[in-house]
Amino acid sequence: MQGKFVFFCSLTILLLAGSIAVGQTFEISSPDQSMAAGSGAIPFSATFSIEQVTGALEDTKGFSFAYGHDPTLLEVLGSSPFTPTSVGVLAGVNDGDGPDFIQGEIFVDGFTVGVIYALVDQTQVITYEVAKPVIEVNYATLPGAVDGITEDVVTDIIHADDLGTPPAATVVVIGEGTSAETTALPFSITFQAAPPVPDPVFVISAQDQTVVASGPNGGTASFVASFAIEQDLSDPEAVAEPTYAFQFGYSHDPTMLQVGSVSEAAALAVLDGGNGAAFFGQMIYSDGFTIGCNYDFRLQETITFSVATEVIDVSYSSLPGVLDGAAGTQLTVVEESSDLGGNSITPIVVVDQGTGIDAQALSFTVGLTPAPATVFTLICADQEATFSSTSGIGSFTHSVSVTEDSGNAGFPNETQGFSFGIGHDSNLLDAVNVTQGAVLQAMEGGSGAEFFAVGLYEDGYTIGCVYDIQNITVQSYPTETELVTADYETVAGTLAGTEAGDTIVTALTPNASLGPNGVTLVMVVDGQSNAMASEAGEITLVSGGGFDRGDCNDDGLFDIADGITLLNNLFLSGDVPCDDACDGNDDELKDIADPIYILAALFNNGPMPPDNGSCGPDPTEGALGCDSFDSCV
């Protein structure tokens, strides 16, 4: 109350009773503002200016005014007594110290302010020949008042004549204390709603391909089409949307192509910790396929398609005989279809936990090139390899060779290079290294083929080889010749715990679709690609383990140390890792007969312990066991 009393007493000194100026008028204004709406409280500042609009230019000594606002939307920041910030010419009076008196009140629906430039020094005056900023008032929206608005919200801040006790007058003081007519102009504040986010646009696509067939006559063309989804973000307002599911179908010419399989690509395979999508339902028809995929029934896992992301791999092949006698590359189109199998499967991507968005499914073209007449055959050798039944760890080196059909014209033909891919079951094997075979290593003075590019992938490897960039070095293959050797390791997580002695048969298969763009199986003769026929190799993985009878000390050898180890165990409390290995005569007893049997085998031409020299389980049931045997792991 004391502040109010001082303010009104001080203002009375300037505003002499009945002294109203005639001819001079002033306007108080603040510019309209626009700002983006958001969450919480949105702060902003309003700068108020004064301008003399009529009459002879007058010196002013103070002013007062009041402005009101919508109390359901805005509030003035601060507390009473209220001291707004002096700016511009007002901040410069009294040698930059600002006015001697500036004070007002804050109300729920507005504010008042009164200003006297100098209480004593009447030379402190301001002229307002143009609009000059004098005070700045800080506002904010009430918390949450404009949260989530979908249309712009406009509110006016206007002159108030009922704020304060008594109500504050809107005047500018001129001369010796005369109040000049003053108008407080309204101004608006616009809170702009966020522009509507356009519905996402998704595009489903697969790359055009040209595939060279392999095999006799026209051969058979096989390839994998990787279907990707991408959200079109070309619209500046577009936002990358998390997706939850999708469906689509594609058809093909059933007289040209057939679908072999539809499988998850990497983006789906990594879901659920590597277990893949919660639902992956595919149907294969003679003229196409459909796919429906839900990533996670709990809607916790999503995929964002801000870039083209492969979601499924579809294996295709030409129908048998369709390329026989064909001249040149045969073109066929694979395109979206919503009526396969009698069910309407339109292209849809699901966003917002259940909103289906129609997707654009693009067609693609496949070129099928008949196998060239000159036939080379790529051969993957059959092989047996072992792995630990306990750890699942194993490794082997595999040979891939080539030979030319002796019936070819110009046999044996000089070749300049080749390319191929070898696929494997990624659940069982991992290709870790590929090395040039001896015939390639001998090229270029022993430095090897000039270009030899290896691509290692989860499900296979690819090779691209050019003997000599200048095409000086050539090589013929009249007999089967090793081209490369590949080092493989077993997938321990899959094979660990396999029963000792069990076998797992898998295949290493020449594959024309490995790699980002598919590496075809071709041999180059006279600069022309010749499709290679191929033979898969059968790989037999044998689970190692068990024990080697007679190797009592588990050092991988059968010698006198084994007999001594057993005698120490029988009579001097020595340890042996595997009782079965020490049962030299396989009578399911461990006693003095066993070291005699072992020593007789070593030095008296006695019979060898049964199955000595090989690892395996005990074929004879009995009480003896085998705690560990590292030599067979």
- Please report the pLDDT score of residue 6 as a whole number: 41
Is the same domain home to 323 and 426? no
> Mean of the per-residue pLDDT values for the chain?
91
Q: What is the DSSP string of 270-291?
A: THHHHT--SEEEEEEETTEEEE
* Same-domain check for residues 104 and 160: yes
Is the backbone of residue 178 left (phi > 0), alpha (psi -120 to 50) or beta? beta
Cis peptide before 412 (omega within 30 of 0): yes
pTM, rounded to two decimals: 0.41
Residue scoring higher pLDDT (497 or 458): 458
- Give the span between the Cα atoms of 199 and 419, in whole angstroms: 45
Share of the chain above pLDDT 90, in %: 74
Residue 217: per-residue pLDDT: 62
Q: What is the pLDDT of residues 11-54, one digit of tens each?
A: 443 443 335 556 899 999 999 999 999 888 999 999 999 999 99
pLDDT of residue 20: 57
pLDDT tens-digit readout, 137-166:
999 999 999 998 989 999 999 999 999 889
CA distance 345 to 353: 20
Residue-number span of the structural domain to which 618 is assigned: 560-632
Give the separation between CA 584 and CA 222, rounded to whole angstroms.
Answer: 56
Asked whether residue 625 is domain-assigned, the answer is yes
Give me the mean pLDDT over the 415-433 stretch.
95
What is the DSSP pairing of strand 303-304 with strand 60-68?
unpaired
The last residue of one of the domains, among 169, 192, 215, is 192
Task: Say yes or no to pLDDT of 4 above 80.
Answer: no
The Cα–Cα gap between 228 and 248 comes to 12
400 and 305 within one domain: no
Q: Is residue 539 part of a domain?
A: yes
Domain contains 299 = yes
- The three-point CA angle 327-331-336 to 5° equals 160
Supply the CATH number for residue 129's domain.
Answer: 2.60.40.680
Give the C-alpha separation, 604 to 612, whole Å. 17
pLDDT of residue 325: 78
Average confidence (pLDDT) over 171-175: 94
User: Is residue 552 in a domain?
Assistant: no
Same-domain check for residues 175 and 210:
no
Cα 624 from chain centroid (whole Å): 55
Query: Both tokens of residue 371?
Result: 């196998």
Cα(504)–Cα(425) distance, integer angstroms: 12
Per-residue pLDDT tens over the stretch 506-556: 999 999 889 888 898 999 988 878 878 899 999 999 887 778 899 999 999
Average pLDDT over residues 125-142: 97
State how many domains the chain has: 4
pLDDT of residue 13: 39
What would the 3-class secondary structure string for 297-337 be?
CCCCCCEECCCCEEEEEEEEEECCCCCCCCCCCEEEEEEEC
Instruction: Tell me if 551 is assigned to some domain.
Output: no
Distance (Å, whole) CA 362 – CA 367: 17
Report the alpha-carbon distance of residue 615 to residue 308 in Å, rounded: 51
In this structure, the number of other CB atoms found within 10 A of the CB of residue 84 comes to: 23
Q: Is residue 550 part of a domain?
A: no
Closest CA to 63 of 194, 163, 172, 167: 172
Question: Residue 216 has what pLDDT?
Answer: 58
- Tell me: do 325 and 381 sit in the same domain: no
Same structural domain for residues 528 and 414? yes
Half-sphere exposure of 78 (CA within 13 A, CB side): 20
Q: Is 229 domain-assigned?
A: yes
- Report whether pLDDT(7) > 50: no
Q: Is the model's pLDDT at 343 over the cut of 90?
A: no
- Which token pair is 37? 């709406």
Co-location of 279 and 337 in the same domain: yes
Q: Which two tokens stand for residue 190?
A: 């616009």
Evaluated on CA atoms 115, 121, 123, 124, the torsion sign reads negative
Residue 1 has pLDDT above 50, yes or no: no
615 vs 630: CA distance, rounded Å:
11
Q: Which helix (H) or strand (E) holds 444?
A: helix 443-446
The token pair at 289 is: 């396929």
- The CA distance from 207 to 226, in Å, is 7
3-class SS shares of the chain: helix, strand, coil, % to 5? 10, 45, 45
Cα 143–Cα 145–Cα 150 angle in degrees, nearest 5: 135
SS3 of 533, please?
strand
pLDDT at 16: 36
Residues 162 and 28 in one domain: yes
Q: Which residue has the higher pLDDT, 235 or 428?
A: 428
How do residues 224-283 score in pLDDT, each as one tens digit?
Answer: 999 999 999 998 888 899 999 999 999 999 999 999 999 999 999 999 999 999 999 999
Q: What is the mean pLDDT of residues 131-140?
A: 97
Q: CB–CB of 434/546 below 8 Å?
A: no
**CA 180/CA 190 separation, integer angstroms:** 32
User: Binning pLDDT at 50, 70 and 90, where does residue 471 land?
Assistant: confident
Q: Are 392 and 496 in contact (CB under 8 A)?
A: yes
pLDDT band at 10 (very low <50, low <70, confident <90, very high): very low
- Considering the chain, what percentage of its residues have pLDDT values greater than 70? 95
Last residue of a domain, one of 369, 399, 421: 369
Q: Which of these three, 490, 510, 544, is where a domain ends?
A: 544
Q: Could you tell me if 133 and 13 lie in one domain?
A: yes
- Check residue 143 and give its pLDDT: 94
Residue 553 lies in a domain: no
Residues 6+ apart with CB under 8 A from 581: 547, 548, 549, 550, 551, 552, 554, 626, 629
Are 298 and 423 within one domain? no
pLDDT digits (tens, 9 = 90+) for 193-237: 988 767 889 999 999 999 998 765 677 899 999 999 999 999 888
Q: Which helix (H) or strand (E) holds 445?
A: helix 443-446
Choose between 409 and 120: higher pLDDT: 120
Give Cβ neighbours of residue 476 (< 8 Å, ≥ 6 apart). 404, 412, 413, 414, 415
pLDDT the model gives residue 71: 97
Q: What is the pLDDT at residue 18? A: 39
Question: How many Å apart are CA 226 and CA 312, to the nearest integer?
Answer: 6
What confidence tens digit (pLDDT) does each residue in 383-394 have? Answer: 998 887 767 888
Statement to judge: residues 567 and 529 lie in one domain? no
DSSP state letter for 624:
-
Enter the tokens of residue 602: 């070593």
For the cut 90, the answer to whether the pLDDT of residue 117 exceeds it is: yes
Give yes or no: residues 116 and 67 share one domain. Answer: yes
Query: Helix 560-571 vs helix 593-603: angle between axes, to the nearest 10 degrees?
Result: 170
Whether the CB-CB separation of 103 and 82 falls below 8 Å is answered with yes
Mean per-residue pLDDT for 422-427? 96
Q: Using 50, 70 and 90 to split pLDDT, how confident is the model at 3?
A: very low
